[in-house]
Amino acid sequence: MELLKCEGLRKVYGAGDSQVVALDGIDLTVQKGEFVAIVGASGSGKSTLLHILGSVDRPTEGRVLVEGTDVASMNPTQGAIFRRRKVGLVYQFYNLIPTLTIRKNILMPLMLDRRKPNQEYFEQIVNALGLGDRLDFLPSQLSGGQQQRAAIARSLIYRPALLLADEPTGNLDRKNGEEIIDMLKLSNRSLNQTILLITHDEKLALEADRIITLEDGRIVSDHLRNRAHGPGL
Ligand SMILES: Nc1ncnc2c1ncn2[C@@H]1O[C@H](COP(=O)(O)OP(=O)(O)OP(=O)(O)O)[C@@H](O)[C@H]1O
Ligand SMILES: [Mg+2]
């Protein structure tokens, strides 16, 4: 099933002499359950693409369809609800709310909709992410890796159609970074979670099913890799 489709995406920042073409004609289709790595030099347009796919930002031209719905056709309220329910976003910095416990941070997207969590699913993700004994702590009482895992738990709580991660391991040492990638793989394999991951790290990119390389706002290569299922993953 085609989960994401974008056509003719262009993004131009600024005007006149200071104009920057950040995306220059991106066509891309992602199937449900794919784990895609996006790589490319600094300034090649990776974050811009992710923000547009997650409807945090709008393209100058072109369109984005998620599960067949044109995200640009939504009004601001519909857009906010769409982002909360359909798209999980994870950044390099965890963006947890410092005054709320880890439990409340993770449940925040549901609380905003006055929804009750599915307890079984909540436990499944916090246990998989090794946060079971940290739920009543504040973010400042957790390590960087634990905070990033909490940010991932929050992004997964709505079982989003699409998980978008921008350098989620950029702020972590290799061991913690590998653990985060293992968690993303686990959610991809066990929940069939569709993931787009931006990374500078070629070794991490090799964990994905598909690697897309951007250069100057264009896709210059798009390779499928053999999807190998390891035990439990
Ligand atoms: N808000 C903005 N205003 C003007 N130009 C911008 C803005 N955001 C990004 N750009 C420009 O668009 C281009 C693409 O930026 P983008 O952040 O998408 O790159 P990136 O591939 O994510 O780089 P990095 O690996 O350094 O994070 C860059 O030339 C950048 O300077
Ligand atoms: Mg970036």
Mean pLDDT value of segment 103-120? 92
Enter the tokens of residue 119: 């307890």
Q: What is the per-residue pLDDT across 170-218, written as a single tens digit (0 to 9) for each?
A: 888 888 888 888 889 988 998 899 999 999 888 889 999 999 999 999 9
Centroid of ligand 1 to alpha carbon of 72 (angstroms): 21
State CA 206 to chain mean position distance.
17
Q: Where are the domains of the chain?
A: 33-58+70-224
Chain segment 150-175, per-residue pLDDT in tens = 999 999 898 898 999 999 988 888 88
Confidence label for 228 from pLDDT (cuts 50, 70 and 90): low
Q: Whose structure tokens read 């905070």? A: 147
Ligand 1 atom at minimal distance to the Cα of residue 200: 25
Q: Tell me the HSE value of 169 on the side-chain side, using a 13 A CA sphere.
A: 21
Query: What does the pLDDT read at residue 173?
Result: 85
Nearest-angstrom CA–CA distance, 54 and 66: 9
Ligand nearest to the CA of 44: 1
Query: Which residue matches tokens 């989620």?
Result: 168
Looking at the domain 33-58+70-224, which fold is it?
Answer: Rossmann fold (3.40.50)
